[in-house]
Amino acid sequence: MPQKLGPSIVSRLYASGGAALVGVVGASIVFALSTSVFLSTANLLNIGRQTAVVALVSVGMTFVIITGGIDLSVGSVVGLSGTLAAAAITQFHVGPISGVLIGLAVGAVVGGINGAFIALLRIPAIVTTLALLSIARGIALQSTNGRPISGLTTSFSFLGRGEIFGAPTAFIFTVIVYIIGALILRFTIVGKHIVGIGGNEEAARLAGLKVRTYRLGIYTVTGLISGFAGLVLMSRLGSGQPTAGAGLELSSIAAVVLGGTRITGGQGTLVGTFLGALLITILGNGLDLLNVGSFYQLVFVGAVLLAAVVISKFIES
């Protein structure tokens, strides 16, 4: 481990999302006391639905950032997978299952291209994924002429608007993806390698880890999950929107950082990321309930992000 000897309990708590947990609990208490509806079933369902997409995208982003990378293309992948799947379903009349597979494949292909350039050609991740951000968005806009694709049958509304046992389907799927991801990261040798690569890539390579294969795999999986998030969003909006997901790269990076993952890699947890994504959603939801203007909200979310990073700096030194 590249960590200094004996990380303190405080820094370990922070790294596994302690600050985001404090934020989520604190914000929830404030909103529960200041509005009558924050804890109502209807509003908790809102929060579940509103968290799903950013939380899903943040899973891949966590893996990427832990290994010292970045993926700016996730938002565009969300838009592309949703529009191409919607086009396949409404215009080429493939069934809903084929539609889902197409959306997932689109995500995996874009992710794979990211991975190939980054791992095999060693192009910096920020440049590669910036290029794919533009390419994927361009394809989504061009292939739809910039118009939303509507006409999805209600059978497809299950993923984004449906409920299972009273909880939003999208949220349940999100939690499942988090559990799988967290188990891999925490308890498997693959997870240890991923953290090791982010901590010290050179040492990992000398120890015989297939760093390139890991990177290729991580970007591909990130694309795949973003593709899934795109399907969830398409189902939620009842249409394939070529502009969907714009800005998600920024909110998912914010969720990951709020969750205690080190932006330079080598440390991070999915529990933290989940709490980070939840915190961002809860702030937006609660401030909306209080009728706080969305321009103030931007300032507020930015300030929270800065505060989290400053706290982490103090804890680490």
Partner 1 sequence: MTLNNIFFDPMNAGASEAAKKAGAEYIVVDARLDISRQVDGVENLIAQSVSAIILNPVDSDAIVPAVQSANKANIPVFTIDVKSRGGTVTSHITSDNVGAGRLAGEFVAKELPQGSKVGIVDGPPISTFQQRVEGFTKAVAGKLVIGARQNALQNTPEAFTAITENLITGNPDLKAIFAVNDNAAEAAAAAIESTGRKDVWVVGVDGIPSVVKTIAQNGIIKATVGQQPGQMGRLAVDAALRYLNGEKVPPEIKAPLELVTKDNADSFHW
Among 58, 267, 285, 312, contact with partner 1 (rule: CB under 8 A): 285
Residues 84, 156: Cα–Cα separation, whole Å: 14
CB of 153 to partner 1, least distance (A): 15
Among 11, 18, 20, 46, contact with partner 1 (rule: CB under 8 A): 46
CB of 197 to partner 1, least distance (A): 34
CB of 178 to partner 1, least distance (A): 21
What torsion, rounded to 10 degrees, do the Cα atoms 260, 202, 226, 306 define?
30
Burial 196-235 (b: 16+ CB within 10 A, else e): bbbbbbeebeeeebebeebbbbbbbbbbbbbbbbbbbbbb
Cβ-based nearer residue to partner 1, 14 or 156? 156
Cβ-based nearer residue to partner 1, 227 or 265? 227
Stretch that binds partner 1, among 102-110, 146-154, 197-205, 222-230 (CB under 8 A): 146-154
CB of 242 to partner 1, least distance (A): 9
Residues 286, 59: Cα–Cα separation, whole Å: 24
Name the maximum alpha-carbon separation found in the chain: 60
Residues 140, 150: Cα–Cα separation, whole Å: 14
CB of 125 to partner 1, least distance (A): 25
310 within 8 A of 55, measured Cβ to Cβ: no
By CB atoms closer than 10 A (0-12, 13-18, 19+), residue 154 is exposed
CA 35 to chain centre: 29
214 within 8 A of 68, measured Cβ to Cβ: no
List of residues 6+ apart from 78 with CB closer than 8 A:
53, 57, 226, 227, 229, 230, 233, 244, 245, 248
Q: Is 226 in the site for partner 1 (CB under 8 A)?
A: no
Among 28, 35, 98, 200, contact with partner 1 (rule: CB under 8 A): 35
Residue type, 99: G
Q: Is 317 in the site for partner 1 (CB under 8 A)?
A: no
Question: Torsions phi, psi of 242, nearest 5?
Answer: -60, -20
Among 293, 302, 309, 310, contact with partner 1 (rule: CB under 8 A): 293
Residues 278, 19: Cα–Cα separation, whole Å: 12
80 within 8 A of 110, measured Cβ to Cβ: yes
Cβ-based nearer residue to partner 1, 299 or 309? 299
Q: Is 124 in the site for partner 1 (CB under 8 A)?
A: no
Among 33, 97, 121, 295, contact with partner 1 (rule: CB under 8 A): 295
Among 185, 244, 271, 283, contact with partner 1 (rule: CB under 8 A): 244
Q: Is 146 in the site for partner 1 (CB under 8 A)?
A: yes
Q: Which of residues 64-103 bind partner 1 (CB under 8 A)?
A: none
CB of 163 to partner 1, least distance (A): 10
Q: Is 238 in the site for partner 1 (CB under 8 A)?
A: yes
Question: Torsions phi, psi of 164, nearest 5?
Answer: -120, 125
Among 68, 148, 196, 272, contact with partner 1 (rule: CB under 8 A): 148
Q: Is 246 in the site for partner 1 (CB under 8 A)?
A: yes
Q: Could you tell me how many residues of this chain bind partner 1 (CB under 8 A)?
A: 37
Residues lying near partner 1 in the complex (CB under 8 A) are found at 35, 37, 40, 42-43, 45-46, 49-50, 141, 145-148, 150, 161, 233, 236-239, 241, 243-247, 284-285, 288-291, 293-295, 298
